[in-house]
Amino acid sequence: MNNLKFNQEKPIDLIAIGRLAIDLNANEINRPMEETITFTKYVGGSPANIAIGTAVLGHKAGFIGRVADDQFGRFIVSYLEEKDIDTSSIVIDQSGAKTGLAFTEIKSPTDCSILMYRENAVDLKLEPKDIKEEYIKQAKAILISGTALAQSPSREAVFLALDFARKHDVVVFFDIDYRPYTWKSTDETSVYYNLAAEKCDVIIGTREEFDMMESLTNPGNDNDFVTAKKWFDYNAKIVVIKHGKEGSISYTKEGESFKGRSFPAKVVKTFGAGDSYASAFIYGLMEGWNVDQSMEFGGASASIVISRHSCSDAMPTAEEVKTYIEKCKKEEGQSV
Amino acid sequence: MNNLKFNQEKPIDLIAIGRLAIDLNANEINRPMEETITFTKYVGGSPANIAIGTAVLGHKAGFIGRVADDQFGRFIVSYLEEKDIDTSSIVIDQSGAKTGLAFTEIKSPTDCSILMYRENAVDLKLEPKDIKEEYIKQAKAILISGTALAQSPSREAVFLALDFARKHDVVVFFDIDYRPYTWKSTDETSVYYNLAAEKCDVIIGTREEFDMMESLTNPGNDNDFVTAKKWFDYNAKIVVIKHGKEGSISYTKEGESFKGRSFPAKVVKTFGAGDSYASAFIYGLMEGWNVDQSMEFGGASASIVISRHSCSDAMPTAEEVKTYIEKCKKEEGQSV
Amino acid sequence: MNNLKFNQEKPIDLIAIGRLAIDLNANEINRPMEETITFTKYVGGSPANIAIGTAVLGHKAGFIGRVADDQFGRFIVSYLEEKDIDTSSIVIDQSGAKTGLAFTEIKSPTDCSILMYRENAVDLKLEPKDIKEEYIKQAKAILISGTALAQSPSREAVFLALDFARKHDVVVFFDIDYRPYTWKSTDETSVYYNLAAEKCDVIIGTREEFDMMESLTNPGNDNDFVTAKKWFDYNAKIVVIKHGKEGSISYTKEGESFKGRSFPAKVVKTFGAGDSYASAFIYGLMEGWNVDQSMEFGGASASIVISRHSCSDAMPTAEEVKTYIEKCKKEEGQSV
Amino acid sequence: MNNLKFNQEKPIDLIAIGRLAIDLNANEINRPMEETITFTKYVGGSPANIAIGTAVLGHKAGFIGRVADDQFGRFIVSYLEEKDIDTSSIVIDQSGAKTGLAFTEIKSPTDCSILMYRENAVDLKLEPKDIKEEYIKQAKAILISGTALAQSPSREAVFLALDFARKHDVVVFFDIDYRPYTWKSTDETSVYYNLAAEKCDVIIGTREEFDMMESLTNPGNDNDFVTAKKWFDYNAKIVVIKHGKEGSISYTKEGESFKGRSFPAKVVKTFGAGDSYASAFIYGLMEGWNVDQSMEFGGASASIVISRHSCSDAMPTAEEVKTYIEKCKKEEGQSV
């Protein structure tokens, strides 16, 4: 059990809002991308990955976003439909904006980078008029990805979605997902992340992301508890602060805190860890599990995804995650 | 007495934030501007006028804003200093942005218009770093003008100022001051006005301005009480809705409502009515007067200003306003 | 007599192309503009002044340009019509662009400056479709002002006008009129000025302006003859290089050179000297006078204009210029 | 023999100027791109292909252009170096601009399309300062690709290169290469293409491209001879107008005209036909061959390239082209 209340009468579990993009993953890996000859195409983008992860785990997901009126846009929509995600609120953009691209370079399992194409990115063309009150009303929860705040009109669309969510008792998950290259300045970023975070129930980010959020109002703070506490004065119930390899810590409005654990993995690349974590953690919370149990589920899902080549395509089923946790625990037991 | 609490230990009464501009008023009036030969230069801009009005009434005012590094910028700062307004937080902008200009055309007392020069306007270059927590802390109240929300980075600067104000128990007055030509779309406008209004204590606007704010979330509403009530769920204590000639109505969080009255005037032009109203109304509230008494003071000040040629230069002293009210009441009594 | 051939059958003498603007001249002069209280409105802009100068001297002028759909735009058109300038090719722009403004500051007769408003300037919205081959065909000569090359689409419109002029044996006068604030970089400026100059018959500029033109292809050159000679390999017949107080020098394709003289003046301000010079010099050449006689006429006109308060409104008649020259010569003779 | 004179003392045969880009060719072909799973990476961009084609045929090529400071930029430079192209004048751009991408879709051999990524394209960041007079001076010829005229500062860089080329007797080939998506308007396009074409020795384009160039000055003309003749009044010696399947026609300043022929091909896709044609045609002219012989060589090279999967990587050697021509002629002879 946890401190979130989901209205079980609503037909959609989670609506993700924001970025739908394309990953082009190097096929010839463990080398610089200059020497990569071929790339494989996948659906990408943090909220897309989370929606897919959620759907594969067994929840009913929907998406609000914009795709380009081209081959990449059509591929994205048809892939989501294959995963049984509701695409009725995905708008085909006619402005000539482009699907964001992420060319992934895997020099070694721990030396990965991304060559981004985000100029005139179609996902940031989302408009307030694309946000339907009736649609959001039908969801138990929505997921906001911070990148959608980076530019107008997408930013305004997100704030409108937050307004509708609060009005209709829809739980709001906020994945900070801070990507500096889409923003004009840290000051701007900080202001809008704060305005959004005030209206969210669950906030998930890295320590560095929370530092950025505090850069204007509490610079230099590195106390996780202080960071988390601020948001409980607004609408937050749970705040998760991730510390990379040192693991995560979560705080609840009621004053509890939980340390996350990590699982062993045969790492192929580091991409996708955050998205798979978020989708499995949210899944757990929406199943009514305890916060620590949900964190464990998130951690295991992340370990599975970083052992595979893609992100979206690698999202595990609930069965797979459970089996993985059991296996790891068993091995640990043996190694003790 | 009213429902606002001002910390009397703070040295500055009111800090206005936002637009400092130049009015160029036609000297040859009652004709189209094509036939105007000469113009007289005044300090202008809604928050500038309100700060000046406040200072002339006898309160200590300060200003946070940006001026151009040119003759107009220097004129503005020196004029404010003459009025004993604290200009220590006015930043000389170095980006080459321009002082906003308003050429006023007075075809007849009731047919007035403005030819605006707001391209690359310097007031919208205000940055978060221009907002000093220490400075805002020293004020009993701040005044936010909605136009400052129109563009980045001024918009972010305003949100940061709101944050500091809430943190330090500074009362926030919000003058909606909606000027469509500075905005990209009604949707965008509506979203940011709402985000700002959530954080304000007193909200002052016309019915049309509140319609714009409700265009996404409550379109078609024309019930003033419904409009006002929404903000009492956030931080508002008083909401004033202006209906032009039909007068104003104000609501308090405690459930009262008050109708404003208007005063007779020998109208020269309509410019400046709103700013003089706001400065005198705020003055009254900060003196601890009742809401209706403050509204009366505002109405009388407006009548005085529209009988004169300029806005900023025409702001009356408290003595003048009081005398005017008495005179009007006496005349009314006689005419009964 | 000179080396230019004007087709006398064409009904219009000179069509000027480019900037129509407003000058706002300080009425209280010999002080910084901060202390100026009122401004007087005049038509301004270099090609506007030249067209007006030409018309006042007695030639038939026309204009190709864009004005704003507002009071300033209407004032400009009606002023030109008063001066009997053909305005049939002036387009009323609907894009919301603004009339350029020049606030003049006269600290002393020799310390003058201009506060420019050129953001989103309407004159630079001139489009190729505004250039009518039939209209240009009717002119003996056109005048190109370099500022019109500063931005697209005005730049393209000018190149199209040059094409039509060459096709129909219309003489092209090129007034370099370089204003750095309208340009992105010296490199860009230099490239387009050179492309335009290749197609012109008479090129008029200051030494500094020619330096800018040579900055990429012949940097460091300060030899006027070398500068002028380059253009005779293209289409130029006369090149005038102005050296401020040291006077001007002109070169012809045939190898002659002429030194200009300056006339005494009771200087009020320095604005307008170049435009009055150009209009009277062009007038002389179009009357078929010798180059040196035309230069003298230009110099005298300039001396008259700098003794007066405005530019456009101060342009002298041919009679005035002649009388002035005679008077000056007489005084010189007497003083000998 | 032909009418072009190449200074044989110059060490570089051809310097191409402009676009260096990446092609991502669908590996699973004969289907919509939505169903393509993997893409293969090649160097692309019309002038890049022509330089590569020239180098493979056996001439010494160089390149002036900008590449991104990333994996794609480094790949491009190293590929050109492999082909023995001089890359000393390729500038590593630091502005964050992106390598242009072309995702090719091959639905069928005759139904091909390209999904372009050209937002903030790095090739258009070429600046006048990147153009070294000393470098251009060393070339027998330069090749200008029209796309480099699409935006500032690349446009100005090209005009400067044209200036240096004319000054140092460097022959200029102009490949019109008109791509509407990089341009703001047809009017703008037309103006700059004309200004550039005036300064070129050989102009190569399709009938549709010449129509665009004539849209402002000779709209509706479809007479190839009229089209070509205009440029002989400037600097052109040879004009080639391509009519797709109907073949090409070339005109010389001396009044000759030649019809090109096409060769049979097992078409895989249509991409690359123009670039391979241009490189082989230019090769022929620079070898001193007759115009018609050079056209034949171009046509044969095009037929070879469209039978292969890539463009740049598919460029044939001179030996391959010659063998192909002989084979085709023999087969034709047999079929007679």
Helices B186-197 and B154-167 cross at an angle (nearest 10°) of 20
Cα D264 to Cα A241: distance, rounded to the nearest angstrom: 66
Cα C57 to Cα C76: distance, rounded to the nearest angstrom: 19
In the stretch 180-199 of chain B, residues with CB closer than 8 A to chain A read 184-185, 187-188, 190-192, 194-195
CA–CA min distance C37, chain B (Å)? 6
Residue B114 lies in a domain: no
Query: Average pLDDT for residues B316-333, to the nearest whole number?
Result: 94
Q: Taking the CB of residue D146, how many other CB atoms lie within 10 A of it?
A: 29
Domain that holds residue D73: 12-19+46-89+124-330
Closest residue in chain A to residue B199, using alpha carbons only: A195
Q: If we measure between CA atoms, which residue out of D311, D241, D245, D246 comes closest to residue D281?
A: D241
Put simply, whether C168 touches D (Cβ < 8 Å) is: no
Query: Is residue B2 pLDDT above 70, yes or no?
Result: yes
CA–CA min distance B22, chain C (Å)? 12
Put simply, whether C127 touches D (Cβ < 8 Å) is: yes
Residue D80 lies in a domain: yes
Query: Average pLDDT for residues A212-219, to the nearest whole number?
Result: 96
For residue D156, which residues of chain C lie inside 8 Å, CB to CB? 187-188, 191-192
The arrangement of strands across the sheet holding C139-145 comes to C86-93, C61-68, C12-17, C139-145, C171-175, C202-206, C238-242, C248-252, C257-259
3-state secondary structure C204-222: EEEHHHHHHHCCCCCCCCC
Contact B119 C120 (CB under 8 A): yes
For residue B98, which residues of chain C lie inside 8 Å, CB to CB? 117, 119
Query: Is residue A35 pLDDT above 70, yes or no?
Result: yes
Whole-prediction pTM value? 0.95
At D132, which helix (H) or strand (E)? none
pLDDT category at A334 given cuts 50, 70, 90 is: low
Residue D111 lies in a domain: no
Cα A330 to Cα A212: distance, rounded to the nearest angstrom: 40
Contact B71 C117 (CB under 8 A): no
Residue C112 lies in a domain: no
- For D94-112, the pLDDT digits (tens) are 999 999 999 999 999 888 8
For the record, the structure tokens of C215 come out as 């900055």
- For D1-52, the pLDDT digits (tens) are 999 999 999 999 999 999 999 999 999 989 999 999 999 999 999 999 999 9
* Cis ω for the linkage preceding D180 (within 30 of 0): no
CA distances A203 to A298, B25, B234, Å, are 15, 52, 22
Put simply, whether D69 touches A (Cβ < 8 Å) is: no
Helices (H), D198-272: 207-213, 224-232
CA–CA min distance B103, chain A (Å)? 31
- For A150-189, the pLDDT digits (tens) are 999 999 999 999 999 999 999 999 999 999 989 999 999 9
CA–CA min distance D248, chain C (Å)? 29
Cα A106 to Cα A109: distance, rounded to the nearest angstrom: 7
Put simply, whether D218 touches C (Cβ < 8 Å) is: no
- Please give the tally of structural domains in chain C: 1
Residue D115 lies in a domain: no
Say what the ipTM of the complex is: 0.94
A neighbours by CB contacts (3+ pairs under 8 Å): B, D
For residue D128, which residues of chain C lie inside 8 Å, CB to CB? 187-188, 190-191, 216
Contact flag for B and C (3+ C-beta pairs < 8 Å): yes
For residue D129, which residues of chain C lie inside 8 Å, CB to CB? 187
CA distances A333 to A330, B5, D168, D305, Å, are 5, 63, 81, 63
Query: Average pLDDT for residues A296-302, to the nearest whole number?
Result: 96
CATH number of the domain to which D186 belongs? 3.40.1190.20
Query: Is residue D335 pLDDT above 60, yes or no?
Result: no
For residue B163, which residues of chain A lie inside 8 Å, CB to CB? 194, 216-217
Task: Provide the pLDDT for residue D109.
Answer: 87
Residue B238 lies in a domain: yes
Q: If we measure between CA atoms, which residue out of B44, B90, B45, B43 comes closest to residue B66?
A: B90
Put simply, whether A95 touches D (Cβ < 8 Å) is: no
Q: Taking the CB of residue B254, how many other CB atoms lie within 10 A of it?
A: 10
Contact C184 D152 (CB under 8 A): yes
- Cβ pair B78, B101 in contact under 8 A: no
Strand partners, C24: C41, C103
Least CB–CB distance from B195: residue in A127, A187, A195: A195
pLDDT category at D334 given cuts 50, 70, 90 is: low
CA–CA min distance B85, chain C (Å)? 18
For residue D41, which residues of chain A lie inside 8 Å, CB to CB? 36-39
Residue B173 lies in a domain: yes
Put simply, whether B95 touches C (Cβ < 8 Å) is: no
Task: Provide the pLDDT for residue D245.
Answer: 80
Lowest mean pLDDT among A269-278, B45-54, B95-104, B325-334: B325-334
For the record, the structure tokens of C213 come out as 């033109």
Task: Provide the pLDDT for residue C335.
Answer: 55
Helices (H), B121-261: 133-137, 154-167, 186-197, 207-213, 224-232
For residue B159, which residues of chain A lie inside 8 Å, CB to CB? 191, 194-195
Query: Is residue A336 pLDDT above 70, yes or no?
Result: no
Helices C46-57 and C273-286 cross at an angle (nearest 10°) of 50
Q: Digits of tens for pLDDT over chain C (336 positions)?
A: 999 999 999 999 999 999 999 999 999 989 999 999 999 999 999 999 999 999 999 999 999 999 999 999 999 999 999 999 999 999 999 999 999 999 999 999 888 899 999 999 999 999 999 999 999 999 999 999 999 999 999 999 999 999 999 999 999 999 999 999 899 999 999 999 999 999 999 999 999 999 999 999 999 999 999 999 999 999 999 999 999 888 899 999 999 999 998 888 899 888 899 999 999 999 999 999 999 999 999 999 999 999 998 899 999 999 999 999 999 999 887 554
Residue A25 lies in a domain: no
Lowest mean pLDDT among A307-311, C37-41, C247-251, D277-281: A307-311
In the B/C pair of chains, how many CB contacts fall below 8 A? 60
